[in-house]
Structure 1
Amino acid sequence: MEALRAAGRQSLVDTVVDQLRAQLTEGEWAVGDRLPTEHELAAQLGIGRNTVREAVRVLVHAGLLESQQGSGTFVRSTADPAAVLRSMRHAGALDVLELRVALEAEAARLAAARRDDADLERLRAALDGLRAQGDRAADADMVLHLAIIEATHNAAFTEVYRFFSAQVHESLAASLGDHEMPPIDLDAHAALVDAIADGDPATAERAARAVLQVPIDVVRALLDR
């Protein structure tokens, strides 16, 4: 490694974060590998240990590294979630809606098979909240969809959806603020909750697809202009 210097307005910590992130994604270390100590990294980069410590803390928070007290810092993942999120932010409305269909149709099917009484209580409360706030309430709509995801009782599914939910929310809020986008179909959302409550996976999957089909059709029509 060469000694680092901050570029332009970028802080030295940000520069170290970028350097370490690049090394992780390029395979410098494999998942499970132990990173060099703070002292070793500081010496290699020609910077202070405090700077290294702060950069490592950022990457731990991002899920790329894991600190184990008394053992050191280990590689948790070489897939950079920040890069994926940046790509998501450049995705179009249709891309995001198609992703939602793929995730939420399967989530609805699983939720119908696995939901418990607590899940049903959350779903009904979320549906009541959506009805109360109206058919342009993006925040209330997202609360309902997250409740469906959580009713799958699949930790991996929930984490993936939570990871993308910020972009989904931004896209939904932007779309619903456009007068050309349709309002939220409250009856379709109620039918989706009913299908999950009835424990009918096939109907729940169809209902989830129906919820998103109208906005998909509208966006496609707008793109074809």
Structure 2
Amino acid sequence: MNDRSGLIDRAVDEIRRHITSGDWPVGSRIPTEPALTALLGVGRNTVREAVQSLVHAGLLVRRQGSGTYVLSDSELTVVMGRQIADATHVHILEVRRSLEVEAARLAASRRTAEDVLILRTLNADRQEAFGSGDVDAMVASDLALHRAIAAAAGNPVLLSLYENLIDAIGANIRTNVVGLVHTRSEDDHDALIEAIADGDARRAMGEITSYLGTYIGDPVA
């Protein structure tokens, strides 16, 4: 690696660090080119190439006449988003089931008292939202509960995979929720949350398998 390539790589790493740490949150404008030059201690050409590299990676986006903005804080999210762009609703449900069944199993085995309190609180929020019929609130509360189950699983790799699919999962949940609103169907996660609270991994797995299987079309799978 020559010195210039090394400078660019270091500049890319430093800009990425500011993004992933939250210093420059998604949607924010990053410092101007002169400011980046001073911050990173490199020349303007190096800054331009480093920024362009992260534009190609999908973390940054240039807006003509406005500046460069943070588009995503995870390259994995960008890559996965591209890969699943043409996925069907059922495809996402099947992937959700594979992740969430294991998340429920692990959460039942590893949940702490604090996890149980969080899950019960989020489940109550979900019930309130579903009772209101507000689709946005229903989606947000359902997504928050399922993410919390993934967090309670105590596996950082599983949680990272789940979070990097969060946009697709959110869209998937919205489709399910809209269907519930139209059909006035009942939907709750009480049994799932209590199975996790009770430490009953088999029952927790069965609850999420049945729940997502209903939307997939094979509830007894």
**TMscore range, shorter length:** 0.5 to 0.7
For residue 54 of structure 1, report the CA deviation from its aligned partner. 1.3
In the other structure, the counterpart of 1:99 is 95
For residue 127 of structure 1, report the CA deviation from its aligned partner. 0.5
For each residue in 1:80-128, what CA deviation from the matched residue of structure 2 results, as whole angstroms up to 9, or x when unmatched? 6523212223210010111111111111000000000110011001100
In the other structure, the counterpart of 2:170 is 169
For residue 39 of structure 1, report the CA deviation from its aligned partner. 6.5
Residue 120 of structure 2 is aligned to residue 124 of structure 1: yes
In the other structure, the counterpart of 2:159 is 158
In the other structure, the counterpart of 1:212 is 212
TM-score, normalization by structure 1: 0.63
User: CA 1:172/1:112 → structure 2, altered by over 3 Å: closer, same or farther?
Assistant: same
Q: Structure 2: where are the runs of 5+ without partners?
A: 10-43, 60-74
In the other structure, the counterpart of 2:150 is 149
Query: Per residue, is there more helix in 1 or in 2?
Result: 2
Q: How does 1:41-120 map to 2 (within 5 A)?
A: 48-58=45-55, 62=59, 81-120=77-116
Distance 2:98 2:53 in 1: 35
Distance 2:87 2:165 in 1: 12
* Most deviating of 200-209 and 172-181: 172-181
Shift >2 Å, 4+ stretches: 37-40, 47-50, 55-62, 79-84, 174-184
Q: How does 1:30-45 map to 2 (within 5 A)?
A: 36-38=5-7
* Alpha-carbon contact 1:182-1:214 (below 8 Å) kept: no
Which among 174, 184, 187 is matched to residue 185 of structure 1? 187
In the other structure, the counterpart of 1:197 is 197
* Alpha-carbon contact 2:122-2:144 (below 8 Å) kept: yes
- SS at 1:36's partner residue? helix
Q: Structure 1: where are the runs of 5+ without partners?
A: 1-28, 41-46, 63-78, 219-225
Q: How does 1:16-31 map to 2 (within 5 A)?
A: none
User: CA 1:93/1:217 → structure 2, altered by over 3 Å: closer, same or farther?
Assistant: same
User: CA 1:134/1:81 → structure 2, altered by over 3 Å: closer, same or farther?
Assistant: closer
For each residue in 1:117-164, what CA deviation from the matched residue of structure 2 results, as whole angstroms up to 9, or x when unmatched? 110011001100011111651111111101100001111111010001
For residue 213 of structure 1, report the CA deviation from its aligned partner. 1.9
Task: Pick the structure with greater CA Rg.
Answer: 1
- Could you tell me the percent identity over the aligned residues? 25
User: CA 1:190/1:35 → structure 2, altered by over 3 Å: closer, same or farther?
Assistant: farther
User: CA 1:170/1:144 → structure 2, altered by over 3 Å: closer, same or farther?
Assistant: same
Q: What is the root-mean-square deviation of aligned Cα atoms in Å?
A: 3.1
For each residue in 1:151-205, what CA deviation from the matched residue of structure 2 results, as whole angstroms up to 9, or x when unmatched? 011111110100011111012213422466774621xx10000000000111111
* Alpha-carbon contact 2:8-2:50 (below 8 Å) kept: no
